[in-house]
């Protein structure tokens, strides 16, 4: 694998959909477009091939500026083009493209070397800000994520909306790598294919390009709802789980995703299990096992233990749960 770099938009790129993008780009591609201000905004899209909002919003943005200079230079990384061709998060033989960046826990491979190269390229270009665009599979509001609580990061996040999530795990994500060289955010933009998500990201990216600098004043506590990810929750790899098959080891509630960004109390039932062994694994931001602090089993019911917990990224997509995780658990924090 090698990274392709271009300083122009190939023919057909602004009309392509994720499934045929591989006919225009040979693979992972970094495109640099000059603007009136030299320090570029870096935007990564399609790190997960089935998350299309980033591509659609950038196509509209670039059409808006056809025939005129961009307000600021723009560098776009088109990530997992091969997975996008099949509308998959990733192909079976690939690492997750949002786990390959410097700081990753994955062993060295062609993809991690490519990610290192991209960070070095953008550092030399004195990148102004980094925006990584994603979608969710479950019912989630739009929100921005940061890996640092410094004011420039919060300013960049609050430009997207009130909801801001701070996390430091999982490792190897794009925003954490770019946080070493510039303010960086991840945008979570609802489900793919939603017009509102495309319009929201379009408006946000246009605002970023028109910034002369990030505001210096402090983000005020009343201006954002800030949450801290305290645990990542996975289903144990040996556990057979389902949302509708009664004979599964773990039968999860079919309305589980409706708990996203809702503060739930200890004792809330998430599902039922056929044996007494804990089917979930929860790890805190340092990788420590905190399962017993988060969940318990009582009379076959799987219960949440933590008080005032707020889940995010709960999804009913069993394939995504296996590839990534069941959800994250968050707690509100105050500036």
Q: Domain-by-domain residue ranges, the chain?
A: 4-223, 229-330
pLDDT in tens, 66-81: 999 999 999 999 999 9
> What pLDDT sits at residue 26?
94
pLDDT in tens, 16-75: 999 999 999 999 999 999 999 999 999 999 999 999 999 999 999 999 999 999 999 999
pLDDT in tens, 277-330: 999 999 999 999 999 999 999 999 999 998 889 999 999 999 999 989 999 999
Q: Is the pLDDT of residue 111 over 80?
A: yes
Supply the pTM of this predicted model. Answer: 0.93
Q: Which of 170, 145, 171, 140 is nearest to 156 (CA)?
A: 145
Q: Which of 159, 166, 177, 135 is nearest to 313 (CA)?
A: 135
Q: 4-223 — its CATH code?
A: 3.40.630.10
Q: Is the pLDDT of residue 1 over 80?
A: no
Contact partners, residue 283, CB within 8 Å, separation at least 6: 169, 231, 232, 234, 289, 290
Q: Is the pLDDT of residue 218 over 90?
A: yes
> What pLDDT sits at residue 138?
84
DSSP letter at 289 equals B
Per the CB < 8 A criterion, the answer to whether 273 and 303 are in contact is no
Q: Which of 175, 168, 279, 174 is nearest to 232 (CA)?
A: 168
Q: Which of 169, 203, 184 is nearest to 283 (CA)?
A: 169
Q: Is the pLDDT of residue 165 over 90?
A: yes
């Amino acid at each position: 694998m090698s990274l392709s770099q271009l300083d122009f938009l190939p023919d057909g790129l602004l009309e392509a959909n994720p499934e045929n993008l591989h006919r225009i780009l040979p693979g992972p591609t970094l495109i640099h477009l000059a603007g009136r201000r030299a320090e570029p905004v870096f935007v990564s899209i399609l790190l997960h091939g089935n998350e299309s909002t980033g591509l659609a919003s950038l196509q509209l943005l670039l059409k808006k500026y056809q025939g005129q200079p961009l307000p600021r230079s723009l560098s776009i990384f088109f990530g997992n083009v091969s997975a996008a061709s099949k509308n998959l998060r990733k192909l079976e033989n690939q690492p997750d493209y949002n786990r390959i960046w410097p700081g990753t826990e994955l062993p060295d491979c062609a993809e991690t070397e490519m990610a290192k190269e991209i960070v070095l390229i953008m550092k030399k270009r004195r990148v102004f800000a980094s925006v990584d665009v994603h979608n969710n599979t479950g019912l989630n509001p739009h929100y921005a994520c940061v890996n640092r609580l410094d004011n420039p990061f919060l300013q960049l996040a609050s430009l997207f909306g009130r909801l801001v999530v701070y996390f430091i795990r999982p490792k190897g994500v794009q925003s954490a790598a770019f946080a070493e060289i510039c303010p960086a955010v991840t945008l979570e933009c609802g489900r793919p294919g939603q017009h509102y998500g495309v319009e929201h990201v379009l408006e946000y990216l246009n605002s970023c390009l028109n910034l002369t600098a990030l505001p210096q004043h402090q983000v005020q506590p009343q201006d954002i709802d800030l949450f801290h990810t305290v645990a990542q929750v996975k289903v144990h790899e040996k556990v057979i789980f389902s949302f509708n098959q009664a004979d599964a080891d773990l039968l999860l509630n079919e309305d589980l995703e409706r708990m996203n960004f809702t503060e739930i109390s200890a004792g809330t039932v998430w599902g039922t299990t056929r044996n007494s062994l804990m089917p979930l694994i929860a790890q805190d931001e340092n990788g420590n096992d905190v399962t017993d602090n988060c969940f318990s089993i009582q009379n076959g019911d799987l219960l949440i233990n933590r008080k005032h917990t707020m889940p995010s990224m709960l999804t009913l997509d069993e394939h995504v749960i296996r590839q990534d995780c069941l959800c994250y658990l968050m707690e509100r924090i105050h500036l």
